[in-house]
Each structure stands twice: as structure tokens, then as C-alpha cells.
Amino acid sequence: MPSNKSVSDAPIVQFTNCRILRDHQLQREDLWVREGKILNPEKLFFDEKGSADVQLDCKDSIIAPGFIDVQINGGFGVDFSLATDDFKSGIDLVSQKILSHGVTSFCPTLVTSPPSVYHQILPQISVRNGGAHGAGILGAHLEGPFISKEKKGAHPEHCLRTFEAGAFQDLLATYGSLDCVQIVTLAPEMRRSSEVIQELTKRGICVSLGHSVANLSQAEEAVQHGATFITHLFNAMLPFHHRDPGIVGLLTSDKIPAGRRVFYGMISDGIHTNPAALRIAHRAHPKGLVLVTDAIAGMGLAPGRHTLGQQVVEIDGLNTYIAGTKTLSGSVATMDTCVRHFQEATGCSVETALEAASLHPAQLLGIEHKKGTLDYDSDADFLMLNDSLYVQATYIAGEEVWRQDVSGM
């Protein structure tokens, strides 16, 4: 009779006494893991006649896919838009620290910067798997500089750029390389943006609309050319107007190509978006909502002055402003806080709140076959949470990489 040895020598771990988020429902069943992947127990029993080598009692925890943050500018004193000699150790620090907030993969985000900054920083960002060293890096999110002056928000005006005659070549010259780029945020009303959107999409790069004064038809045209995301909905775009709802109108547009879904980021920190606006967006288009932190270097630090790229920002409680102004500049919220606030503000189910931070960002990036779900054969990146959605432990590739220290509580 074959044992599990016939397929693999790797140990099989069985997580018991838990509720697993699978098929949009919390289900009371065990989770089986081998070699960093979620295992189908039926195949194990019937094909391999195998069994678990290790059993772990989860004490009735919720097990959910690890969170994916597709817009994070830094944290814990590290600013991803600052070219420093120790940039790599900075990104390592953030990827380690966000494990405690349930983030198992992320897109380090650069705000509008001079070309020299992109040329210095982008070669130092490499796509990598997560592990004990920290959350996995899915690729960079470049927010700007091809955005609207009127809706620049916290982005430095002197660094903003437009597309000239060789639009895509302009973009390449500005960034230097697209090798590790996963998302580009641009303003779709800019001349020649359509050809840029098409070129980026052709290369498998997600195009996001944001920091923009686009009307609805300009936004719809961008989606028809391949754009699939909206950067922090409601923030840095024209406010909703009943005769021309602008980019916000994409949530209920009937001009979205068949089979295509538009996703939208929301900073659910209680500051950037009023709970009523969060509820309106969620009820209008629940399957497109992606929670993002938009966190800056000051996340995890005391109030005071910090940086966001070329700007100085001040943290006052949960508010972050460009120094000397009332212009909001990113957040200091952590992903687990955003998930809890989203659930509280919308009254949505626990499953819905968790999927907004895991399944939806994975679908946006086209990686839902391996991340963002607990389907069989997907990566065993998952969290243990209590019923109030506080993270108790974080696992990457089936290995525990962080656990809540209960001794000091």
C-alpha cells in the first residue's frame, strides 16, 4: 500500500478545530498543508492513502487567506519613494513588520518622483516570495507622475509629467525599467493616455485610474483600452455629480467590456472616506472593492513629522497632512485595522470583509489561482484570526512567520 512517501517526503500538517474561508463561506473543516501548498485531503486519503504527520489545534480560530496590500508607500520610518543607500534593508524591515498585520504579499508604492529616483529605486525592488524574512513582494505600484495637476493631492507638482509625442517612450524614459512593475496609476484624461494604457496592459501591467479630473466617458474609454483599477476611490478625483459621475461612475457603468471587472481601492481608515461613502461604494459594486492602506513611512510610528517622497508630512492622530496644509497624504492605518473598520462601517459579513483584503486584490492582479484563496493547490499563505478579526498568527507557505505574543497580555 503506498504511503505519502510515494508522492513526497515532505511532512503534512493538518490544522484542526477551525473555520476556513473557502468558496466565500466560513466552513468548519480542517486545513491540510504540504510543501507550502493547500492540500486536497480526498486525494491524500484515497490516492496516496496518506495521513497527517502533524496536527495543530487552532482553538476555533478563523483561517483566512493572507492579506494583499497593493498600495503601501512605506511604514515604520521607511519611505519607498526615498532613494537611500540602504533601500533594500528598508523594504525588508517593512515586509517583516507588516506580517503582524496579516499582510503576506504587497506592492511597494512609489509616489510621484523625479526620474532619477525611479532609476535608483526600481532596480532595487525584486519580485520575491514571502517567508520568515517577511511578506512577499508582488512588484512595484507606480502612482504618478503622469497625473493631473488639479488632483495631485500629496504629489509634488514640479515632478508631474505629461505624455509627449512618443508617449510610451516617455514613460519608459521616466521609470527607466518596467521589469518589476505591477501597477501604474495615471490620469486617463491626459492626451495619448490610451496608447500608454494599451502598451502597459500588453505587458501584463495593471493600469489604475487616479489623481484625475476625468469625466465618465474618459474613464470608460480607459477601461475599454485595458485599465482595470481605480486608485483610492473618491480621493483625488472629481466628486460624484449626478449628470457626470466621473471615475466614480465606473462602479455602475454599462460600458465595461463583457467579462471584465473594474476593481477600486478604498482606504478604510475612518479618515479618507466617510463610512456612508464606503457603504455607497460597497453596495454599488461589492465584488470590485479592494482594501488598501495607502500607508506612509509614519505608519507604526509616533505622531510628528515624516516624509512621503519629496514632501514633509505631519501625523496628527490618524490624520496625515502635507506639512503646513490640510491636504491629506496617505494613511497610517494598518491592513487589519482597515478590514475591521470596513466590516463595522458597512455591516458586511466577516467573509466579505476578509475577501476585500485577499481575494479581490489577487483577482485584480490575476494571481487568484495561487494567492488570495484557500483553494486546493494554492499557496498556503493564511492567517488565524479571532471572531473580532484580530490577527493571532500569520503563515506563509505553510510556515508560521508571526504569532501574537500572549504572555505580555
User: What is the rounded CA–CA span in Å between residue 383 and residue 104?
Assistant: 9
Helix (H, G, I), strand (E, B) or coil at 109: strand
d(CA 282, CA 248): 12
For residue 330, say whether it is annotated as part of any ligand binding site: yes
Q: Is 294 among the residues known to form the active site?
A: yes
Annotated ligand binding at 211? The verdict is yes
Does 143 belong to an annotated binding site? yes
The answer on whether 235 is annotated among ligand-binding residues is: yes
Q: H-helix or E-strand containing 352?
A: helix 350-356
Distance CA 322, CA 227 (A): 29
Whole-angstrom Cα distance, residue 194 to residue 262? 17
The cell for 377 is 493547490
Q: How many Å apart are CA 37 and CA 375, to the nearest integer?
A: 9
Please state, in angstroms and as integers, the Cα–Cα distance from residue 95 to each residue in 104, 142, 160, following that order: 8, 18, 29
Whether residue 288 is annotated as binding a ligand: the answer is: no
154 is in an annotated binding site: yes
In Å, the largest CA–CA distance within the chain is: 74
Which residues face 379 on adjacent strands? Answer: 37
CA angle 168, 170, 175 (to 5 degrees): 95
328 is in an annotated binding site: yes
Cβ pair 194, 217 in contact under 8 A: no
- The grid coordinates of residue 190 equal 491626459
Cα angle, residue 372 at apex, residues 371 and 378 outer, rounded to 5°: 45
DSSP 101: G
Query: Which member of 69, 269, 294, 381 is catalytic?
Result: 294
Q: Which of 64, 84, 114 is nearest to 336 (CA)?
A: 64
193 assigned binding-site residue: no
Q: Count CB-CB contacts under 10 A for residue 70.
A: 28
Of 365, 405, 377, give the one whose Cα is nearest residue 70.
365
Write out the three cell numbers for 350. 466577516
First to last CA, the chain: 49
- The CA-CA-CA angle for residues 107, 248, 109, to 5°, reads 15
Q: Which residues are catalytic?
A: 294
Binding residues for Zn(2+): 143, 211, 232
| Annotated binding residues | 143, 154, 211, 232, 235-236, 243, 272, 328-330
Residues comprising the binding site for substrate? 154, 235-236, 243, 272, 328-330
